[in-house]
Each structure stands twice: as C-alpha cells, then as structure tokens.
Structure 1
Amino acid sequence: MKLKSKTNSIFIDGKWHDTEGQKTDIVYNPATLEPITEVAYGGKTETEEAIAAATRAFKTWSGMTGRERSRILYKAHELMLEDADRLGEILTTEQGKPLKEAVGEVKGAANFLLWYAEEASRTYGEWIPSSIKSKRLLVIPQPVGVVGAITPWNFPSSMITRKIAPALAAGCTVVLKPAPETPLSAIEIVKILEKAGMPNGVVNLVTGDAEAIGNTMLENKAVRLMTFTGSTAVGKYLMRESANHVKKLSLELGGHAPIVVFDDADIDKAVSLALASKFRNNGQTCICANRVYVHESIKGAFNEKLTEKAGQLKIGDGIEEGVKLGPLINRQAMEKVQKHLDDAVSNGAEVVCGGDKWQGRMNGYFYQPTVLSNVTDDMLVMNEETFGPLMPVQSFSDEDAVIEKANDTDYGLAAYIFTETTSRAVRVSEKLDYGIVGVNDVFPAVAEAPFGGIKQSGVGKEGGYHGMDEFLEMKYVSMGIDS
C-alpha cells in the first residue's frame, strides 16, 4: 500500500480541501506505531461551512425521487465491492484488524448501500379512514433535513454506511465526522459516493477537532438530527445538549453482552462462536461477549476446549496471513484491559490463558487473548465493558438466576444464548432485557434487520426498513372536502 505524506480529508460542497498551511493530525498504524499520513484538522469554521453546504443541497436532494437517489446508492455499492480488497487494506493499516475481517467489513458496508438503495423507493405514506365524511386524512413521510453523523474507529467503514445510507435514501443531506484514529476509510467512502454521482453538498466530510466539530453540529439549528455511535457517556452529553434545539437523536452506545451456555448446548459450536465473538476485532466491538456464563454440568469440558482454542489464535499485524488478533487501537485501550485483569486477579480470578501484553516482534498495542475463571460479580470485568481480548467465565446452575445476572446491568445492546431446545430459546430470548438476542449466533448485524439497544445502550435502530424511520418525519395532512 502506497502511503502519502498528506491526505486531503475535508470535503465540502463537492470540493476537497488541501491541507497545505493548515494544522494537521497524524494517523498512525496501531500495529507498528508508524505514521501513515497526515489529515486536515478542521474545526468550527469547516463544520459551519459543511452544514451550510448540506442545507443548500437539501432542497434539491430531497426533491428527487426515491428511484433517482437509489441509482446513486446502487452505483456506490457496486464501486465499493469492486474495490473491496484495496479498501480492506487501508482499513487494516489504520485500524489494525486482520485483513480478512477488514475486507468482510467493507463488503458489509457495501450491503448497507445496496439495502437502502432498495428502500429509497419504499417510503410509503398512508390514508387514514376518517370518522368524518367531509375529511380525508393523509400521512406523508418527509426527510428530517441535515444530519450530523459521528462514527467510531472500531468499524470505520460499516458504521458510516449504516448511518448515511438510510439518511441519503430518505432524502437527507449529511455532515460526517469520522473518528480521528480512522479517517482514511471515511475519505475513501466519500470518494466512492462522489464517483457514483452524488450531487455537491449532499455528503460533506470534516476531520479534526472532535469537540469543536460535535459542538458546532449541536449548536447549529440547521442540523435536525444527530446520529452517533460511541460511548454512553458521550451519548448522554449529546442528549443533554441537543435539547437546546430539540434535535432528533439516533444513538448506538456501549454494551456489556452476556453469553449464556446452557447444559444442552452443542459445546464445540458454543466454544467456537464464543471465541469468534470475544476476539473478533480483538474484542473491540460493542456487541462482543463481555461475560460468559456456562452451566456447571459442562463447565469443565467448555473451559478446556475454550482455553485450547484461545491459545492457538495467531497475533500480529493484520496484513499478515493467518493473523486472528491484531493490535488494540491505542495505549489507553491496552491500559483498560490491564486494569480489568489486575482487578480480577487481585480479587481471586485465575488466568487460564494469556494474561499479559504480547511480547512479539512488533511495537504496537498487542495483548494476548486471555481467559479468566473463578470470576465473581463484583469484579470490574463483570460490570464494565472491557473492549479488549479479556474473557471472564462463570458457572451457573439455575435458568432464572442466570437471566437475572445477565440483565443486571445498565446496558442493553446484545445478549447471546446457546441451547438446542426451542422452548428454552424462545423463553429466554423474551426474558433477556436487550435490543438484540442471538440464539446459537453471535453475528446478528445484517443490513436487513434492525440493530440497536435499550436502556443506556442507545436510542433508535439502524438497519432494516426500521433504519429509515430515524431520518423521516411523518407529516399529517387533513383535507376538508365537499361531501
């Protein structure tokens, strides 16, 4: 992959801004800690310009037919698939995940463009039967307006298209702020939309000062909706500050996902999928397993197989063949993993696999896949989202008791159960207090289904036809007629 010393990263009203003479931000490879490139460090001025461009473009874009918008999104989907390998390499270089995962993410991101290209023509209104003969009642769906989209670093491609594809399909225009760690994937997606024929001002990109950009979006009344994926703390801040203009919000926040493995589960399947969930993206996903509860009758067999397979996971630069665990995103992420591990061990947990930084040949933020046993409910790892390769395992004996433990958290994003009994699958799924439940499945996120949490894990849904609802307002028209 050929790297540049500087990369244009601010895109406003159809034009890329040169970084010459501007303050810049360095993007690093988390596997090698080497600089990749520099990107522009925008702030309030650039964000205001982007909002103004999006406001001007809204009238034309929202006035187009759904089919016209659909053609552009479908073309972008095709272009993204054609370039998936190169885009995956860029993603791995800036974010660290294994190349196979990165290419898979790019293809998944393209699926959101395809799904909402199809949904663009399906924003149906309705006639309501009137109780008054001289009235006709009509509901018209209309786009919200300008959308401020703030996306995270852990899925720097799919989180963008999952937000902006439904917004664009609905007729909204967008100002996008990607995570400072991973702006390069965002730049490539905007270039694809540009090449697909997106009109000027419909999609705008601003990199740089996260606080200044976010606050400008909050303070500008032209931004009618903000969509954000990130921490619950930041989500709460956005909720408070958005009240000044009564902005709509779509928030996908933190998680603390339990996996419950019942005594009738297929142990081999449960082990493989629990590992895949926990160590995908090195545990840096909001829906990955954070707590594992295993029935006491199969605890020994489960832990033995889990430990064996975890120890076989290859660590290294995600570009290398066969690597399953890349680096953590930064030093703070590694320190949090270590803090959770130290707390658990000091309170009686046993490290049965891993338990330290990876002493490999690279300088990046690598940590061994780690499995803990003898964990108790008062440990940090059982109460906070680790966002790293640390898997605590606890046994249980009673179904109702383990459901109560699984639900005993402020978070409610995703939960998983393993069982071969249909009745139990239905019964437990209904009792788990989560927005997403996987039954013998730890990869629930697909373009055609609604994704989102409850409680302090978020507001609103992304994906499926439900994802369009966030970007639409329902206008009610009451018509008096001669009866």
Structure 2
Amino acid sequence: MSETRRLHHLIGGERVTPASGAWFESTNPATGQVIYQAARGDARDVALAVASARSTFEDTRWRDLSPTRRGHLLRRLGDLIGEHSEDLARTETLDNGKLLREMRGQLASLPEYWYYYAGLADKVHGSVVPTSDHRVLNYTTREPLGVVGAITPWNSPLTLTTSKLAPALMAGNTVVVKPSEYTSASILRLAELAVEAGFPAGAVNVVTGFGAEAGQALVDHPDLAKISFTGSTATGARIASSAAARFIGSTLELGGKSPNIVFDDANVANAAMGVVAGIFAAAGQTCIAGSRVFAQRSVYDELLERVTQRAGSIRIGDPLDDATELGPLAFTDQRDKVASYVDLGRDEGARVLTGGRATDAGLGGCFYEPTVLVDVDNSMRVVREEIFGPVAAVMPFDDEDEVIRLANDTEYGLAAGVWTQNLSRAHRMAARLEAGTIWVNTYRAMSPMSPRQGFKSSGVGIEHGTETVKEYTRLKSVWINTSEDPVADPFVMRS
C-alpha cells in the first residue's frame, strides 16, 4: 500500500509517523476490502501527544483566551463539520458499515452539538457563598482540568467523540483522542478541521492504534487529568480502577441491555416500529439498543407478528445504497460474536422466528440478518448479556409490577422505552425503571441539551447538557479577608 493511503497520527497539528514504524489495516465491512492503513501507536506516540496537549494547555494563547473566543472556535468547527458533512458521512460508512443515509442524518445534526457548547462557553461561572463573617468574602470559580484523554468507540465515532471533545474544549482543556482501531479516519479528519477552525495545534491530538498498546498508555499517563471512555463495561471497569488509583476523574459510558416495554393500551403499530428502530437501526450496534422487548400478554401476539414481519422484510445490502435498510456489522469478529450468541440462545431453548443467519449479502462483507428470538426468559445469557447486534429477545408479561421486576433484573441501566397511552402509567414507569434515560412512546431520541447518564454497570458520569461543565472543570473556593484590622493572635483568649 502506498504512503499516500496511510493515515498518520495527528499531534500538535502535524501528521506524525508512528514511533514503532508499524501500521495496521482498516477494512470496509461491507466488502472486506482494505481501505487504508493507520499508524499503530504505542506509549511513545501517546507521550508525544500528551506533551503537545500539556504544552498547549499551559500556553497563554490558549489559557488566557476568553471563554467567548473559545465559543467562537467551537462554532467555527461546527460550521466546518457542516461544510464537510458528505465526506465525513461517507468516511464513517466506509469504516464501520453504517448506512450512508443514517450518517447523513447524524452529520446534519452534529454541528448543533458544537453550537450548543459554543453558547455555553462563557456561561461557566462560580458563585458567591454567604459566610457568618461579613468581613470575609468567599467565592467559587470553575477551572479547566488540564489534559483530557478520550477513548472512543467504532459504532458512532464522530458523534460519540464530539460528546467528549466539545465540552472538554469548551471548558478550556486540551485533549488526546484514541479512536477505535476500526474507525480512525473520521476522527483524524475531525482533528484536522479543529486546526482549520483556529484551535491551537496541540488542543486536539489523535493517536491511532490498539487498546492494549495506545489506549492503556493513554489511561496510565501521569500527566492526564481525566479520562473519558465509551465502550464495554469490562474495559470501563479497568479504566475506572486505574483512574481512581491516581485520583483523576473518569466519565464512562458503558454497556446496556435496555428494555422496550409495550402495554396493552399502546398504539401497537407505533410500538412495533419503535421496537424495530430500537434494535435493528444501526444493525443493533448501539449501547442504547432496545434488545429486551416486553409485551403485555394481550398484545404480545400482535406486536410479535408486526415486529417479525418488518424484521423479515428489512433490506440488507450496500450501506452506500439509499435503498439499503441494514448494513454490515462493523467487523468480522463482531459478526461472529452475534452469531455465537444466537447459537447459544438456541442451545438455551430460544426459538428463532426470523433471521438467525450470517450472510455476505453478495458483497463479501460481514452481515447478520435481523433476528427475533422467543421462548426466552431473564435467566438466559442472550437476555442478560449485551450482544451488540440485530437480535431482539421478545417476552410476555402480565402487569406493571411484573415488568418492572423483569426490566430491572439486569446489571445494566442505560435506557428504557415505554409504550402506553396512560399518562399516569408513563410517569409511574419512568419513576420505577432503573435507567438513566427513559423514552415514552418514542425511542433513541437524543439532544446535546439533554443530559445522559448510565446507572449500575452502564457507566459513571454525565454526557450532554449543562451538567458536563462539572465533568470537565474543577471547583476552587477562594476566601478573602476584606478587613484591615490586625489579625488576632490565635493563642490569646478572646472574650
């Protein structure tokens, strides 16, 4: 492969060859063809990137830049993302196989995330604290943390990297990003656009490579002030342990096994489409996938028929084709993982109503058919463990108390869906479900203004919304004695 098709690290605004001289291949999951090579980073590359970020953080040209000016930079980057949205969308589709039409939709809304944080940049402030002594002024300020490490996943690289990068930069931090080894290209392009937008060259650095080599080196770097990670619960636990041992903060968006609950008073046609969207959109490769479907017994058969019929008619094919409704899984190992879980489900006694097979869709890629499992219960691994693919497990229930018990019987707590026309029930369910996001009569709705937090093993910390200010700043309390009277001797008793 020629040098021109190699993607280098981006450190200090420059393309940097990996210290090891090693590269790795990235393939198009729809065809299996190699599309580029990326730099295989290690601790040496990470050290260079962190040094660049640290130098920029301490540089007065960034440190003393007014919050309003930082906001202008974020807005300009949002504009550039909009201007390059088609190229960015195609880059992600080629890298991870998501539908081009879906990526166009994501890219159309992505600038709004940058605009939101641009507007928030000069709204970050402390407060004056009342004290018992009128001569003493106590006030608080919020300061940036320093160098933030961001480790981002392959399923929605630009969106999920933005969820970390935008608030970190808004608060005045600098960032080193380690993208997934499966999706390096779009994140490198984003970093280049940040330089074009006017950010200092070392404000956004990208080191590509594998988790064990580059990711772990980033997590362990002594100059890191915070780590933000999106990925598996097992990896998140290791990162949290490392961060805690060094007393730095961590924001972790982890796994999910979200319930999508349909009551007998719901509009069943709408609910069925919500179930389909919740588990088959993005080929089920999303942490918020509604992979556990609970239907009240009187509408169970109707819902199941509607979902199964639509699942069986979903058009599988080239994600660049606007007629395609389901693209490939992002890489071969992921397809094999999904297939092994469906086989495990069969062994556990589950019945496959539709799907249940891997296919290359005539393209040579790693596709898996939309799959509906029945005759399942909460004790089965296909119901308890995150599959991260287009596999729905559908179960009946009788009443609210039962479905609450079933829905909450999981180690995860990322999201949940409720389908009902009873307003009182909607509020009762929202209060009792153990999940950070509850959707009622919709699914997968999202906004940069709405905070998102995982419960239980689904994560720690908050992404989106004004609450992210606290995630990427530290609080300082300042006490000032305004009196000019002599300071009393502490060892002289006063009456």
- Partner residue, 1:195: 196
Which letter does structure 1 place at the counterpart of 2:372? V
| TM-score in terms of structure 2 length | 0.94
| Distance across 2 between alignment mates of 1:307 and 1:410 | 28
- The superposition leaves residues 1-24 of structure 1 with CA deviations (integer Å, 9 ceiling, x where unpaired) of xx9852333111121124699211
- Partner residue, 1:205: 206
Partner SS state of residue 462, structure 2: coil
- Partner residue, 2:13: 14
| Distance across 2 between alignment mates of 1:31 and 1:4 | 24
Which letter does structure 2 place at the counterpart of 1:478? W
Q: Flag the structure with larger Rg.
A: 2
Stretch deviating more after TM superposition (104-113 or 248-257): 104-113
| Distance across 2 between alignment mates of 1:398 and 1:284 | 30
Matches within 5 A, 1:261-280: 261-280=262-281
Q: How big is the shift at 1:444? A: 2.9
| Distance across 1 between alignment mates of 2:7 and 2:365 | 26
Which letter does structure 2 place at the counterpart of 1:49? L
Partner SS state of residue 448, structure 2: coil
Which letter does structure 2 place at the counterpart of 1:48? A
Question: Is the CA contact 2:29–2:332 (under 8 Å) kept in the aligned structure 1?
Answer: no
Question: Is the CA contact 1:418–1:439 (under 8 Å) kept in the aligned structure 2?
Answer: yes
Partner SS state of residue 245, structure 2: coil
| Distance across 1 between alignment mates of 2:343 and 2:220 | 42
Matches within 5 A, 1:247-326: 247-326=248-327
Q: Does 1:231 pair with 2:229?
A: no
| Distance across 2 between alignment mates of 1:251 and 1:274 | 26
Q: How big is the shift at 1:417? A: 0.6
Question: Is the CA contact 2:253–2:458 (under 8 Å) kept in the aligned structure 1?
Answer: yes
| Distance across 2 between alignment mates of 1:162 and 1:110 | 12
Q: Report how many residues are paired.
A: 481
Stretch deviating more after TM superposition (473-482 or 341-350): 341-350
- The superposition leaves residues 316-357 of structure 1 with CA deviations (integer Å, 9 ceiling, x where unpaired) of 120012111111112221222222212222233221111211
| Distance across 2 between alignment mates of 1:5 and 1:98 | 27
Q: How big is the shift at 1:246? A: 0.8
- Partner residue, 2:29: 30
- Partner residue, 2:246: 245
Question: Is the CA contact 1:450–1:461 (under 8 Å) kept in the aligned structure 2?
Answer: yes
Question: Is the CA contact 1:137–1:477 (under 8 Å) kept in the aligned structure 2?
Answer: yes
- Partner residue, 2:44: 45
- Partner residue, 1:164: 165
Q: Does 1:399 pair with 2:396?
A: no
| Distance across 2 between alignment mates of 1:111 and 1:230 | 24
Closer, same or farther: CA 340–111 of 1 in aligned 2, 3 Å: same
- The superposition leaves residues 384-415 of structure 1 with CA deviations (integer Å, 9 ceiling, x where unpaired) of 01100111100000111110110011111111
Which letter does structure 1 place at the counterpart of 2:430? S
| Distance across 2 between alignment mates of 1:98 and 1:205 | 25
Q: How big is the shift at 1:378? A: 1.9
Which letter does structure 1 place at the counterpart of 2:49? A
- Partner residue, 1:173: 174
- Partner residue, 1:355: 356
| Distance across 1 between alignment mates of 2:442 and 2:63 | 38
- The superposition leaves residues 93-146 of structure 1 with CA deviations (integer Å, 9 ceiling, x where unpaired) of 011011011112223332221111111111021011112222111010100111
Gaps of 5+ in 2: 485-495
- Partner residue, 2:489: none
Question: Is the CA contact 1:109–1:162 (under 8 Å) kept in the aligned structure 2?
Answer: no
| Distance across 2 between alignment mates of 1:134 and 1:101 | 60
Partner SS state of residue 297, structure 1: helix
Stretch deviating more after TM superposition (193-202 or 338-347): 338-347
Q: How big is the shift at 1:381? A: 1.4
Stretch deviating more after TM superposition (374-383 or 473-482): 374-383
Partner SS state of residue 265, structure 1: coil
Closer, same or farther: CA 305–4 of 1 in aligned 2, 3 Å: farther
Partner SS state of residue 27, structure 1: strand
Stretch deviating more after TM superposition (402-411 or 104-113): 104-113
Q: Does 1:148 pair with 2:141?
A: no
| Distance across 1 between alignment mates of 2:5 and 2:117 | 33
Q: How big is the shift at 1:361? A: 0.8
Matches within 5 A, 1:414-453: 414-453=415-454
- Partner residue, 2:63: 62
Which letter does structure 2 place at the counterpart of 1:340? Y
Which letter does structure 1 place at the counterpart of 2:104? V
Question: Is the CA contact 1:8–1:17 (under 8 Å) kept in the aligned structure 2?
Answer: no
Question: Is the CA contact 1:73–1:116 (under 8 Å) kept in the aligned structure 2?
Answer: yes
Partner SS state of residue 35, structure 2: strand
Which letter does structure 2 place at the counterpart of 1:58? F
Which letter does structure 1 place at the counterpart of 2:45? E
| Distance across 1 between alignment mates of 2:3 and 2:399 | 58
Question: Is the CA contact 1:9–1:183 (under 8 Å) kept in the aligned structure 2?
Answer: no
- The superposition leaves residues 200-243 of structure 1 with CA deviations (integer Å, 9 ceiling, x where unpaired) of 21111101232232232233221100000001101110111123
- Partner residue, 1:475: 476
Question: Is the CA contact 2:272–2:306 (under 8 Å) kept in the aligned structure 1?
Answer: yes
Closer, same or farther: CA 119–424 of 1 in aligned 2, 3 Å: same
Closer, same or farther: CA 109–9 of 1 in aligned 2, 3 Å: farther
Question: Is the CA contact 1:42–1:208 (under 8 Å) kept in the aligned structure 2?
Answer: yes
Closer, same or farther: CA 186–402 of 1 in aligned 2, 3 Å: same
| Distance across 2 between alignment mates of 1:132 and 1:19 | 59
Question: Is the CA contact 1:328–1:334 (under 8 Å) kept in the aligned structure 2?
Answer: yes
Partner SS state of residue 46, structure 1: helix
| Distance across 2 between alignment mates of 1:57 and 1:415 | 41
Among the aligned pairs, what percent are the same residue?
A: 35
Question: Is the CA contact 1:29–1:35 (under 8 Å) kept in the aligned structure 2?
Answer: yes
Question: Is the CA contact 1:62–1:143 (under 8 Å) kept in the aligned structure 2?
Answer: no
- Partner residue, 1:410: 411
- CA-based RMSD of the aligned residues comes to 1.6
Question: Is the CA contact 2:96–2:182 (under 8 Å) kept in the aligned structure 1?
Answer: yes
Which letter does structure 2 place at the counterpart of 1:113? W
Partner SS state of residue 376, structure 1: coil
Question: Is the CA contact 2:180–2:210 (under 8 Å) kept in the aligned structure 1?
Answer: no
Q: Does 1:101 pair with 2:102?
A: yes
- Partner residue, 2:467: 466
Q: Which runs of 4+ in 1 moved over 3 A?
A: 18-21
Question: Is the CA contact 2:13–2:192 (under 8 Å) kept in the aligned structure 1?
Answer: no
Partner SS state of residue 142, structure 2: strand
